[in-house]
Structure 1
Amino acid sequence: MNLAKFPRRGYVSTPTPLEAAPAFSEALGGKVNIFIKRDDLLPGTSGGNKTRKLDFSMADAIEQGADTIITCGAVQSNHCRLTLAWAVKEGMDCHLVLEERVKGSYKPEGSGNNFLFNLLGVKSTKVVPGGSDMMAEMEKVAEALRAEGKKPYIVPGGASNSIGALGYVSCAQEMQQQFFDMKLKVDHVVVPSGSAGTHAGMAIGMYATNSGIPVSGINVSRTKDVQEAHVYKLVEETVELIGDIKGGVPSEAVECFDSYVGPGYSLPTDSMIEAVKLLAQTEGILLDPVYSGKAMAGLIDLVRKGHFPEGSNVVFLHTGGSPALYAYLDTFQ
């Protein structure tokens, strides 16, 4: 795959660490070896996986002559934080459209990412009800900005379109070089699965390079069948954009588990709380309560159920998001 033909800004200049988690693995019974790909340590304000996607998305915006970025997410969106941060770095205005998926959850003076939106100097924040057509809402903002003479560029939620997914096709290649350098035979990769860009990119990157390493997504919102179709649609769009993957990627390369969502997106679960506390208290690594926490809860349960054969080396892709923890103090205290 020739990803060099696509413009990018160079936000990711060195590989993120791939760390063994021996104490965590031992706490889960010691039969499976857990490794953590530390994309929570990516550049950008407080880190996180969206930087890989925005490396390509922001380059596309700049190539199209944009001077303003518009994006969307939930009220504690890590994606919105990082999009805003990179817009600041590029000297561009940034406007956010936030979806209040849980009624009453938006707090203008809230902690976590809400606080960082304001600290970073967001130009405007529009809050819309859960279930709104987010692309249509962003287009309304874009139309008003065009009337003011601005040149806005819309980054979809999670930067999860074919351009953004390139960031995780690239990450899969990066990880395979790390496996080689570490002399590490990896049996499985587990990723959070939400807006789908990370999951789709990883599935493409691992399959199209003939790695033989399966990728499983732990859902944070949708049911298994809906999420698998959502991810695979983006796989097909991204494969078409790349253009040189013979035979494409089969739908069987996309696997999701949906038992760890709980009552809904961003709503705490006991298993998420356990996962966040366990990793913090064994490895000193922070997860977030919305994505990586629920995904790690899924990994923990799969290990305990014997889903991975004894002796397996399993890599968990840590997508970041720890600033959101501070909006969930009551959950952990």
Structure 2
Amino acid sequence: MNLAVFPRRGYVKDPTPIESCPAFSKALGGKVNIFIKRDDLLPGCAGGNKTRKLDFCMADALAKGADTIITCGAVQSNHCRLTLSWAVKEGLDCHLVLEERVKGSYKPEASGNNFLFKLMGVKSITVVPGGSNMMGEMEALAARLKEAGRTPYIIPGGASNPIGATGYVSCAQETLQQLFDMGLKVDHMVVPSGSAGTHAGIVVGMVGNNANIPVSGINVSRTKADQEALVRKLARETAQRVGMSGEFPDEAVTCFDGYVGPGYSLPTESMVEAVRLLAQTEGILLDPVYSGKAMAGLVDLVRSGYFAEGSNVLFLHTGGSPALYAYLDTFK
């Protein structure tokens, strides 16, 4: 897979660190060694995994002459924050369509990412009810902007299409080179699984490079069956785009849905424990919606003996800590 043939903007210039977490590992019983791939430290306003995807999506937008970006997400969307930040960097207008997945959860004066949307000068925010046709909403907005003389470009939620997922094929290659340089054998990788672009890209990169590292996704919204189907579909499309030899094996996608709790973005006790434990042992901040619930899943898998004793487990930290500041009551 020669990813150099795909246009990108060069937002990711250096590998993000892979850090050992000995105190966190000890707090979980010391039988498994936890490492964290720090994609929360990627460039872009407050960092996070979407920068890798937007590196490719923004290049496509500019190649098509766009002067305006439209994207969507939940009311505290990290993806929307980073899309807006890179649009600002590129001198493009940015319009956001926010889905109120939990009724009453959008608060115009909220802290967290909602504050950052306004700080960075978002051109418009459209709030729609949970369950809305988000692509349809964005296309309707694009039509209005075209009538006004703009050239809009739509980036799907999470930048989770084959263009965006290519950023995580690249991340898998980056990770494998780092592990080689570190002399570190990883037995398992755990990733948050939401809009599917990150999870799909990682498994395509691992399979395409014959890494033999199993990847488990921790769901943040959907059931196991629905999420695995979503990841597999995008992984097949991404594998075809990047020129992976052979068919993508469906068995490479595994998801766990036991840590979603009452629903997307709704707090759980296990999420709160995981966020607190990592902060108090390693000084690393998770977010309450994605990385926090994914880490709750990893914690439970370690405690239940899912990983063999002595295993080295790599967790992909996708960022999102600004959302913590909209969840202050949860952590009191």
**Corresponding residue of 1:194:** 194
Query: Any stretches of 5+ residues in structure 2 without a counterpart?
Result: none
TM-score by length of 1: 0.99
**Corresponding residue of 2:301:** 302
- Measure, in 2, the Cα distance between the counterparts of 1:91 and 1:211: 39
- Measure, in 1, the Cα distance between the counterparts of 2:241 and 2:46: 30
Residues 153-176 of structure 1 deviation map (CA, whole Å, 9 limit, x = unaligned): 000000000000000000000000
SS state of the match for residue 128, structure 1? strand
Correspondences of 1:103-114 after superposition (within 5 Å): 103-114=103-114
Correspondences of 1:189-268 after superposition (within 5 Å): 189-242=189-242, 244-268=243-267
Q: Does 2:285 match 1:286?
A: yes
Shift of 1:322: 0.2
- Measure, in 2, the Cα distance between the counterparts of 1:38 and 1:85: 19
Shift of 1:228: 0.1
Q: Does 2:294 match 1:313?
A: no
Query: Any stretches of 5+ residues in structure 1 without a counterpart?
Result: none
Shift of 1:248: 2.1
**Corresponding residue of 1:56:** 56
Letter in 2 for 1:268: P
TM-score by length of 2: 1.00
Residues 56-88 of structure 1 deviation map (CA, whole Å, 9 limit, x = unaligned): 000000001000000000000000000000000
Superposition CA RMSD, Å = 0.4
Correspondences of 1:20-35 after superposition (within 5 Å): 20-35=20-35
Q: Does 2:9 match 1:9?
A: yes
Correspondences of 1:143-154 after superposition (within 5 Å): 143-154=143-154
Residues 108-143 of structure 1 deviation map (CA, whole Å, 9 limit, x = unaligned): 111000000000000000000000000000001100
SS state of the match for residue 173, structure 2? helix
Shift of 1:246: 1.6
Segments ≥4 residues shifted beyond 3 Å: none
Letter in 1 for 2:326: A
SS state of the match for residue 36, structure 1? strand
Aligned length: 332
Letter in 2 for 1:122: V
**Corresponding residue of 1:46:** 46
- Measure, in 1, the Cα distance between the counterparts of 2:45 and 2:241: 29
**Corresponding residue of 2:167:** 167
- Measure, in 2, the Cα distance between the counterparts of 1:35 and 1:240: 31
Letter in 2 for 1:181: D
SS state of the match for residue 191, structure 1? strand
Shift of 1:239: 1.4
- Measure, in 2, the Cα distance between the counterparts of 1:225 and 1:250: 16
- Measure, in 2, the Cα distance between the counterparts of 1:207 and 1:194: 20
